Amino acid sequence: MKFEVALLASAALTLVLPAAAAAQPQAQADTVDASLPTQLPRTAIPHHYSLTVTPHAQRLTFEGQVAIDLEVIKATRELVLNAADLKFNSATLRAAKGGAPLAGRVTVNAEAQTATISFPRMLAAGAYRLELAYSGKINTQANGLFALDYKNKEGKDARSLFTQFEAADARRFLPSWDEPDYKATFDLVARVPANEMAVSNMPAGSSRNIAGGLKEVRFQTTPTMSSYLLFFASGDFGRITKRVGDREVGIVMSRGNESKAQFALDAQAQILPYYNEYFGTPYPLPKLDNVAGPGQSQFFGAMENWGAIFTFEYALLNDPAITSESARQSIFSIEAHEMAHQWFGDLVTMAWWDDLWLNEGFASWMENKTTAHFHPDWGGEIERVASREGAMGLDALNSTHPVVQEVRTVEQANQAFDTISYSKGESVIAMLEDFATPDVWREGIRRYIAAHKYRNTRTTDLWGAVEAAGAKGLTTVAADFTTQPGIPLITVASSQCVNGSTVVTVTQGQFSADRKDAVAANPLTWHVPVRASAGGAAVQAVTADRNTQLAVPGCGPLLINPGQYGYYRTLYTPQQVQALATRIPQLGGADQYGLISNGLALSLTGYQPMQPGLDLLNAMPANGSAKVVQRLVGRWDDLYDRLDGNDGPQAAMANRVVRAYGPRLQQLGFAPRAGEPAVDALLRPTLIATLGKYRDPGVLAEAATLFAAWKSDPDAIPGSLKSTWLGVIARNADAATWDAIRERAKATTGTVERTSLYQLLGRTKDEALARRALDLALTDEPGKTISSGMISTVAGQHPRLAIDFVLSHLAQVNELIDISGRSRFMQRLATSSRDPELIPILESYAKASLAESDRKPIQQAIDRIRYESAQAQRIRMETAAWLAAHP
């Protein structure tokens, strides 16, 4: 396909690219899968949308005209499509073969988010073009078309526009069949200020100036894709690019931030060829942009719009003034995640939100795999285990759900973006790749992508492809772990050394945090790939039986799940735990972290006393792997928090941590060192924050010195540690200190740094100052998307205070959260609480504010608080006893 480029000199900022890619053969569905859930009658299928949009950024409204080429598949008198917050001016239908236009009457159903267009006579099956003229709202949170305000390079107020459509918000921009299996092609024309840059999925084909200081930018036709992947942005942008083969990768950002985008651009250029090779189908669009937006959302950080990823600045720009080492590493991994979606999600899309995990679990797994491939020194295998632990935290509750779950409402689709879809999905895929072997797994993925490109799939299509590539038995294992909720528990009996092998019986049951007795009496069963090692080669058996006997070469300490690919918990005998504790210094990082986390989880849920868990934790040498130590300091700190109110044991715990890890911090030094390992740069802020929390005099003195210098010079603290050191200060702040941080926040123009400073105001331990932070969040001062983050930060220290505040200002607070994140905000605020008094408060909030179908996240928060408060007293007593016995 060849097209005209009409680029005017005055429109030099317009993004106009040559067509690099030949048109791809594109599959267009001419039937619909009647077995899929839908909110729309299966009477018509859209094939192509031609959309012209004119935003009025200052008035926060826009006008749209769309012509939809569609096929009526069943004679009907009306067409029903999705629309939310749109006002219709006209609706006209023409048969493709000609004839008089038919005027339609539009009836909007706000509740169902649909528009019904009724016609004076029956429409026979066949091809039509439906033309709609309408207007809509520009939101101030990230839903539909939305505005983000910021200070530009010159310090002036500026506003850029972006879109965010997943799961079900394309309908706020475009009346459409807004469900993932209605794939279509899109032509977008945008009328924007002549001095702005407009960006969409495809490169601009042409741009011309029109009346009113505007220009009309015509983007090339997209490939066949789901409506939630459409993207549009316009603003005072800069763009930097690189060629990768015959494709172009680019970062689009607020003008002036170009140098901060180089790290992300390099990552993109590195990852694209790797994915072309891994997926076996080259990236199909001519360009791939990642567009940075100033601000944040309570729902997401980045979105995989095809060819035009959107990422909030804090997750994309590497700013020497504020970006920490962990944020810098996240830039790479978020790029890896969103780019994986360009194939897994965009090119091949789940048929319905039930299979959302196919998108998210896969992209999370690929993100980790890719980051570990390019940055083996970042300790990715520890992150993989951390994802499993995060997933199991939720999956051990009665209110968990299977990876493949039933989604019926828009709200449930939004709620499906949770730890189970992402982290359990990732963990199960890691287990299955290990089961299939990486080569067979990749071959299966290549076949799956090739067979289903431009189409929709279900989970079973993936299993079929990998099994056909050679992974015999994979479907059975995969089905058990994706269609059932929960976690297998492998209980290990006493073992015997027989002829140089460890002979042992393992028993399969189910692990549960809040229904231990019920699941013990009636456990689910899985086909579990159980692996074991005892000093010799590891053995693996896939077992669905209650009891399985293993003969493991070697008679050393018996380790179940070496490598930590298995998604299950392991309950050892006390003797086996003690033997493993002595082995911990010699184990690899993933096994160290996995074994210790497993032990702590069993202790915290009451499957065993605290002592074996603490013994394992204590066995990790303080001078061991920086990445493991960084994670384990967090585990000690979690136990410290559980001792709240028991001053003696809590002080003993703090002393213990300071004594063990203080020397490690001394070795690392308080400031970053040129050329140091990335994992050291990660460990330092963790140690500073934790020791600062325990009021270590050395850390507090350094924080005070740096803060005094920072008050007159914002660059006095190294950027990568700025939020860490200021976090120590903010936590212990008095009113004068708090005011000083606020004044600096007010004066800061960079959105990322400004956001970080406002959030610090919520970190204070002082309740009166925390109240001030909450009050400030409801003013216009922080900015539309910063406020909700301040409330979340307050909840970290003062969950009850934050929740009471939100409940008494619910309508105001809802305006500060994107619509898709609202039903989960309260769950997030409750995360750090173990206070049973919150339970009735959360229950009555759910009853009053959420439909019954949409209460799962709140129920999860309630279940967690209930079981944790039931264990709290035992955990405190046993931990105190352990501390007394280990002075």
Smallest separation (angstroms) from Zn ion to the CB of 417: 8
Overall residue count recorded for the chain in this entry: 887
**Tokens representing 358?**
């196919």
Measured from the CB of residue 360, what is the shortest distance to Zn ion in angstroms?
A: 5
* Paired tokens of 495: 């073992």
Q: Measured from the CB atom, is 322 or 339 closer to Zn ion?
A: 339
What is the Cβ-side half-sphere exposure of residue 519, based on CA atoms within 13 angstroms? 20
Q: At what angle do helices 822-829 and 787-797 cross, to 10 degrees?
A: 30
Q: Phi then psi for 159, rounded to 5 degrees? A: -140, 130
Q: What is the Cα–Cα distance from 693 to 732, expressed in whole angstroms? A: 8
Q: Measure the CA–CA gap between 50 and 64, rounded to whole angstroms.
A: 10
Q: Return the number of the residue (394 or 691) whose C-beta is nearest Zn ion.
A: 394
The 3-state DSSP class for residue 217 equals strand
Q: Select 192 or 229, whichever has its Cβ closest to Zn ion.
A: 229
CA–CA–CA angle 184, 187, 193 (5° rounding): 145
Residue 86 phi, psi (nearest 5): -110, 145
Question: How far apart are the C-alpha atoms of 138 and 309, rounded to whole Å?
Answer: 20
Q: How far is the CB of 298 from Zn ion (least distance, A)?
A: 16
CA Rg, the chain, in Å? 28
Least distance (Å) between residue 363 CB and Zn ion: 4
If the CB atoms of residues 342 and 598 are measured against Zn ion, the closer one turns out to be: 342
When CB distances to Zn ion are compared, the closest residue is 363
231 vs 725, beta carbon nearer Zn ion: 231
Burial 249-281 (b: 16+ CB within 10 A, else e): bbbbbbbebbebbebbbbbbbbbbeebbebbbb
CB of 338 to Zn ion, least distance (A): 7
User: In terms of CB distance, is 225 or 363 closer to Zn ion?
Assistant: 363
| Nearer to Zn ion among residue 363 and residue 392 (C-beta) | 363
Question: Tokens representing 216?
Answer: 């009309």
Residue 216 or 346 with smaller CB distance to Zn ion: 346
What span, in angstroms and rounded, lies between the C-alpha atoms of 778 and 791? 9
- 144 in Cβ contact with 173 (< 8 Å): yes
- List, in order, residues 6 or more apart from 355 with CB less than 8 Å away: 404, 457, 458, 459
Residue of 335, 338, 426, 433 marked catalytic: 338
Start-to-end CA span in the chain (Å): 76
- CA 224/CA 206 separation, integer angstroms: 21
Instruction: Name the packing angle between helices 856-885 and 610-619 (round to 10°).
Output: 70
The answer to whether 627 touches 589, Cβ cutoff 8 Å, is: yes
Q: How far is the CB of 164 from Zn ion (least distance, A)?
A: 13
- Between 200 and 359, name the residue whose CB sits nearer to Zn ion: 359
Find the shortest distance in angstroms from Cβ 369 to Zn ion: 14
Active site residue 338: yes
Among residues 356 and 577, whose Cβ is nearest to Zn ion? 356
Query: Strand, helix or coil at 164?
Result: strand
Nearer to Zn ion, 362 or 593 (CB): 362
β-pair partners for 292: 311
> Judged by CB under 5 A, which stretch of 174-182, 353-361, 534-542, 574-582 contacts Zn ion?
353-361
For residue 337, the minimal CB distance to Zn ion (Å) is: 5
Q: Single out the residue of 664, 654, 591, 581 nearest to residue 623, CA to CA.
A: 664
Would you list the DSSP string of 485-507?
A: -SEEEEEEPP-EEETTEEEEEEE
**Between 457 and 630, whose beta carbon lies closer to Zn ion?**
457
DSSP 184: B
User: For Zn ion, how many residues bind (rule: CB under 5 A)?
Assistant: 2
Q: Measured from the CB of residue 362, what is the shortest distance to Zn ion in angstroms?
A: 9
Work out how close the CB of 254 gets to Zn ion at its nearest, in angstroms, rounded to a whole number. Answer: 24
The interface region with Zn ion, picked from 207-215, 355-363, 534-542, 775-783 by CB under 5 A, is 355-363
Kindly state the smallest distance separating residue 275's Cβ from Zn ion, in Å: 14
Q: What are the backbone angles phi and psi of residue 355, rounded to the nearest 5°?
A: -100, 25
Task: Write out the binding residues for Zn ion, residues 33-52 only, by CB under 5 A.
Answer: none
Distance CA 306, CA 222 (A): 9
Among the candidate windows 145-153, 352-360, 439-447, 730-738, which touches Zn ion by CB under 5 A?
352-360
CA atoms within 13 A on the CB side of 646: 21
Contact positions with Zn ion (CB under 5 A) in 385-404:
none
- Cross-strand pairs, 312: 293
Q: Which stretch binds Zn ion (CB under 5 A): 293-301, 360-368, 565-573, 860-868?
A: 360-368
Q: Which stretch binds Zn ion (CB under 5 A): 164-172, 362-370, 441-449, 721-729?
A: 362-370
Secondary structure in 3-state letters for 288-332? EEEEEECCCCCCCCEECCCCEEEEEHHHCCCCCCCCCHHHHHHHH
- State the nearest-atom distance from the C-beta of 643 to Zn ion, in Å: 37
Looking at the Cβ atoms of 91 and 340, the one nearer to Zn ion is 340
Both tokens of residue 86?
């749109």
Angstrom CA distances, 727 to 474, 706, 793, stand at 47, 12, 11
User: CB pairs under 8 A, 24+ apart, for 467-470?
Assistant: 468/444, 469/436, 469/440, 469/441, 469/443, 469/444, 470/436, 470/440, 470/443, 470/444
Shortest separation between residue 356's beta carbon and Zn ion, angstroms: 9
Token readout for 816 is 């500060």
In this chain, which stretch among 160-168, 363-371, 603-611, 698-706 interacts with Zn ion, using CB under 5 A?
363-371
Q: Which stretch binds Zn ion (CB under 5 A): 356-364, 481-489, 530-538, 751-759?
A: 356-364
Binding status of residue 363 toward Zn ion by CB under 5 A: yes
Q: How far is CA 681 from CA 278, 378, 627, 678, 684, in A?
A: 31, 10, 10, 5, 6
For residue 349, the SS3 value is strand
Count other C-beta atoms under 10 Å from residue 761's C-beta: 25
Judged by the rule CB under 5 A, the positions of this chain that interact with Zn ion are 360, 363
Residues involved in catalysis? 338
